Structure 1
Amino acid sequence: MSWTEAGFDVVGQHVLWTDLVGNVGALTTVWLAIRKTIWTWPVQFASSALLFVASISAHITGNALKQALFGALAVYGWIRWSRGTRGGAALPIRSATSRERTLVVAVMALGTVAVALLFTYLNSRGLNISWAPWPDAYIFVGSAVATWAQGRALVDFWVIWVAVDVIGVPLAFSSGLVVSGAVYGVFLVMVAFGFRDWLRQSHQLRAVTA
């Protein structure tokens, strides 16, 4: 057995070490995001790499593609936040503008349709990208949009994560990734705290700059 398939059994379920460690890293990423530290991004990159391996081992290609995208977006966020912290000035937390919110909704809707159709087509060609193309596409696109919004320090990214987790929890459990499903549930709680803290910081910043 290779290290990519190594794991242990819990209540009749085989848990991959890559899935476990990767999800611990994902939880750490959320905690770091609440604190708005630049370490959010390298930790997210590392956890995405591990979860990519776990998804490949579980034959969930769609989720693997999502983790690859997360890794790329982690680099984007790392660069953007690094520029924002030069000279000690942090990237300011703010709410999305009406235009940005319209863009988010449009991208999530159209992106989900486009990716779901792509997954369905690839499945028909025997590539087995996803056994649940529509929810997988929704999670794929929603996660990408949320990470993009986080990179821009938008408070709204927490709300997008809630919308993703509502679908992500049952899909992860039904895919056999028990740890991922449990972590999605914990995410919901952490997201609530993160949204509260970022919203408060954005209000404080607005009061100072007004």
Structure 2
Amino acid sequence: MSWLNSEAFTAFDQHIKWSDMIGNIVGLVALALGWRRSIWTWPAQFVSGVILFVAFASSHLTGSAGKQIVVMAVAAWGYWQWTRGRRQAQDGSIAVRFATWRERGCLLGGAVVGTLAVGGLFTLYPSLSWDPWPDAYIFVGTLVAMFAQARGMVEFWFAWLLVDLVGVPLNFANGFAFSGFVYVVYGALVLWGLRDWWLRSRTSAEPTLEGAAA
């Protein structure tokens, strides 16, 4: 498996690693599948997590490597959640919705507390991460985003946008140029996916509103 961390090619004076390229291409496919509400988004995210774990762990980016462990765990849970949701839905589709204000508060509070806790840990033990606070932000932000996705919340797209804002410069700074390029593409897909889920959430809410009026 050592070839995964070898150089694939050079582009714009940036050395592209096989693990960085393959893991992010699979992750890009996973995001597109999530946009289409395909249950295969979760196996794709799991595979991407395995490959990128190898890449980040070898570069001593513990937060980013730990993030991939979270990605794999949440991908397994998300697959279970969506499988159960499809069984409960009459048409077998995945229902999406906006989070309640209470859920939004929990997501935001969890992100803040989690980032402070993980960033503090990385600061106390510098060997765990070369960029403790950005690394912690990405680690926790990814967890929040995937949790919201598994629950079918439209807000998960907003969480990914916030992760991208830090993820792009961090990956370029640490030699993962392909990750940086792909994060830019992620941004475009996130905007399209946000629009799609936003419209679908309104469609999903219509029967409920009609039932309440009756």
Q: TM-score range by the shorter chain?
A: over 0.9
Backbone CA RMSD of aligned residues:
1.4
- The alignment status of 1:109 with 2:129, answered yes or no, reads no
Task: Please name the residue that 2:6 is paired with.
Answer: 6
What residue number does 2:184 align with?
A: 185
**Cα distance in structure 1, aligned partners of 2:108 and 2:2:** 42
CA distance, structure 2, for counterparts of residue 173 and residue 205 of structure 1 = 40
Q: What residue number does 1:34 align with?
A: 35
Q: CA deviation at 1:132?
A: 1.1
CA positional deviation for 1:92: 1.5
State the 1:208 CA deviation. 2.6
**Aligned residue in 2 for 1:79:** 80
Q: C-alpha displacement at 1:58, in angstroms?
A: 2.3
* Local SS of the residue matching 2:94: coil
Task: Write the mapping of 1:124-163 to structure 2, written as runs, cut at 5 A.
Answer: 128-163=127-162
Counterpart selection for 2:122 from 94, 111, 119: 119
Q: Which string of whole-angstrom CA distances, capped at 9 and with x for unpartnered residues, describes residues 120-165 of structure 1?
A: 1121xxxx21111111111110110000000000000000111111
Between the aligned partners of 1:8 and 1:17, the Cα distance in structure 2 is 5
**CA deviation after TM superposition for structure 1 residue 195, in Å:** 0.3
Distance 2:2 2:186 in 1: 30
Is 1:53 paired with 2:57? Answer: no
**Per-residue Cα deviation, 1:74-124 (whole angstroms, up to 9, x for no partner):** 00100000111126533310000000000011111111111000111121x
Q: Stretches of 4+ moved more than 3 A in 1? A: none
Q: Which runs of 5+ in 2 are unaligned?
A: 210-214
Please state whether the residue corresponding to 1:9 is helix, strand or coil. strand
Structure 2 Cα separation of the partners of residues 205 and 158 of structure 1: 18
Structure 1 residue 199 displacement after superposition: 0.4
Query: Structure 1: how far apart are the matches of 2:140 and 2:62?
Result: 15
Q: Structure 2: how far apart are the matches of 1:5 and 1:137? A: 23
Mapped to 1, the partners of 2:80 and 2:68 lie a distance apart of 18
Determine the structure 1 residue equivalent to 2:173. 174
CA distance in 1, matches of 2:188, 2:21: 19
1:18 offset after TM fit, Å?
Answer: 1.3
Q: How many residues align?
A: 206
Residue 57 of structure 2 contacts residue 65 of structure 2 at CA under 8 Å; is this kept in 1? yes
Structure 2 distance, partners of 1:27, 1:106, is 28
CA distance in 1, matches of 2:5, 2:190: 30
Which residue does the alignment assign to 2:212?
A: none
Instruction: Provide the secondary structure at the position in 2 that maps to 1:110.
Output: helix
Q: Which runs of 5+ in 1 are unaligned?
A: none
Q: Does 1:94 align with 2:93?
A: no
For 1:195, the equivalent position in structure 2 comes to 194
Work out the CA distance in 1 between the residues paired with 2:119 and 2:2: 32
- Indicate the SS of the match to 1:91: coil
Q: 1:4, 1:57 within 8 Å by CA — same for their partners in 2?
A: no
CA–CA distance in 1 between the matches of 2:114 and 2:207?
A: 37
